[in-house]
Amino acid sequence: MFNTSLTTCHRVLLSLAALLLLNGCSAGDPPAPTARTQEVGVYVVTAKSQALTLSLPGRTSAHMTAEIRPQVGGIIQKRLFKEGDDVKSGQALYQIDPRSYQASVTQAEANVSSAKATLEAARLKAKRDAQLVKIDAVSTEDNESAQASLLEAQASLQSYQAALQTARINLGYTRITAPISGRVDTSSVTPGALVTAEQDTALTTVRQLDPIYVDVTQPSSTVLRLKRELAQGQLAASTQQNATNVQVLLEDGSSYAHTGTLTFNGVSVDEGTGSITLRAIVPNPQGLLLPGMYVKAVIDEGTKQDAILVPQQGVIRDERGDASAWVVVDNKVEQRQLKIHSAVDSRWWVSSGLKVGDQLIIEGVQKVRNGDTVKVVEVGRDAQKADSKNTNQPSQQNTAVASRAVTF
């Protein structure tokens, strides 16, 4: 009986609570909580003057190369250099046994002396007969013969003098010298080896390494693009009047200390590769660069006066690699498709899709959708100030990045 009363009492209380709740709701529901507006950080797009560089792969080659070959035959007596040393022009490298050539010189000298004596006798006879023929003391025929003998003696002397000169030249060739200054390679012969004149195998090679050449190839399509952009005023020509600077990057990615100069721009296109050969000359005082090294040459192409560079975190790429970005227009999020020219340090150089004054979202990119209403907070002001201070000063990291028109 008592339990039944408690149960009834509970039911009554629950009914009263439900009635009070219904009455409260009917008096007016409280307003639903409103969604908070998403806050995003934006970078205000600006334009600046930016140097345009092109990174091209290439190889180093010696400025001058001389293959040393003997001009006379004989036995090598001495090697007069140390392999790998720097030698001067005219410095002796090998000595060939000179004795047979010295004997030839001595014989030629004797022949010249004999020819001089013969000439002197012929001259005296010709002079005497020329006087005697005037008084009919000798016949005209004898006089003419004496004059002819004089001419023959003169020609014979000239012939012996030429032979003497040749013998002396050959004697000089027994001492083989360096025709240029540079670094000498390994020797292919040792003392006691027999060599012959103008043989196919070089005795050694001397290479001039300071300065040194850097040979690179540039696609012809890139040349056409640059000429077109310069003609249209999209690029300003380099400030150098007579030459274009070239920065060299070594195999390990480090920057070479000395700046080179572009000295040759190809005049024809290779039919097999469709490329044009460029040659730069680079100082090499320490001999760090050696012929055959793989390097990259970073060449100044021109200056883009109104380049747009934006932080990389503001650019999104899809599965196909296409670039896009979110911008804020009248507090609404809008998606833009971009074309990227190249990377510059930690920024993207945008060639199309953005304009000066656009508010590019760089913080909160993953939280927004097209058409969302957002609250803008400007960030990246320090980066923009740095951009304005570093105008026309591309970093070495930038120069290491290949242009979009170059394929490796």
Q: Is the separation of the CB atoms in 304 and 234 below 8 Å?
A: yes
Task: Choose the weakest-confidence range: 29-38, 206-215, 321-330.
Answer: 29-38
Ranges for all domains in the chain classified under CATH 2.40.30.170: 53-62+210-303
Task: Using CA atoms of 384, 389, 392, 397 in order, give the dihedral in degrees to the nearest 10.
Answer: -70
State in words which class domain 41-50+304-399 has: mainly beta
How many whole angstroms separate alpha carbon 193 and alpha carbon 96?
10
Would you state the structure tokens that stand for residue 309, as one six-digit string? Answer: 């560079």
Neighbouring C-beta atoms of residue 158, cutoff 10 Å: 12
pLDDT digits (tens, 9 = 90+) for 242-289: 447 888 999 888 999 998 888 876 667 776 777 788 888 999 998 899
Coil/strand/helix, residue 87 = strand
Q: Is the separation of the CB atoms in 212 and 61 below 8 Å?
A: yes
Res 306: pLDDT: 81
Residue with tokens 């599965």: 319
How many whole angstroms separate alpha carbon 390 and alpha carbon 398?
13
Res 319: pLDDT: 86
**Domain spanning 98-173 has what CATH number?**
1.10.287.470
Neighbouring C-beta atoms of residue 7, cutoff 10 Å: 9
Residue 69 has pLDDT above 50, yes or no: yes
How many whole angstroms separate alpha carbon 55 and alpha carbon 247?
9
Ranges for all domains in the chain classified under CATH 1.10.287.470: 98-173
**Closest Cα partner for 153 from 114, 103, 195, 189?**
114
How many whole angstroms separate alpha carbon 160 and alpha carbon 110?
9
Q: What share of the chain is helix, strand, coil (3-state, %, to 5)?
A: 30, 35, 35
**Closest Cα partner for 278 from 293, 292, 294, 297?**
297
Would you state the structure tokens that stand for residue 347, as one six-digit string? Answer: 């920024």
How many whole angstroms separate alpha carbon 74 and alpha carbon 51?
61
Residue 366 has pLDDT above 80, yes or no: yes
Cα of first residue to Cα of last residue in the chain, in angstroms, is 97
Mean pLDDT of the 160-181 span: 96
CATH 3.30.530.20 fits domain 53-62+210-303: no
- Pairing type for strands 374-378 and 38-44 reads parallel
- Which 8-state DSSP code applies to residue 367? G
Full-model pTM: 0.62
Residue type, 314: G
Would you state the structure tokens that stand for residue 39, as one six-digit string? Answer: 């806050």
Residue 407 confidence class, pLDDT cut points 50, 70, 90: very low
Residue type, 20: L
Kindly write down the DSSP assignment for every residue of 30-53, as one continuous string.
Answer: PPPPPPPPEEEEEEE--EEEEEEE
Ranges for all domains in the chain classified under CATH 2.40.420.20: 41-50+304-399
Task: Choose the weakest-confidence range: 27-31, 330-334, 340-344.
Answer: 27-31
Distances (CA, A) of 272 to 54, 92, 278, 297, 298: 22, 44, 16, 22, 24
How many whole angstroms separate alpha carbon 211 and alpha carbon 63?
6
Report cis status (omega within 30 of 0) of the bond before 211.
Answer: yes
Kindly write down the DSSP assignment for every residue of 371-397, as one continuous string.
Answer: T-BEEEEE--HHHHHHHHHTTT---HH
Mean pLDDT of the 72-94 span: 95
Kindly write down the DSSP assignment for every residue of 219-252, as one continuous string.
Answer: EHHHHHHHHHHHHTTSSBPPS-SS--EEEEE-TT
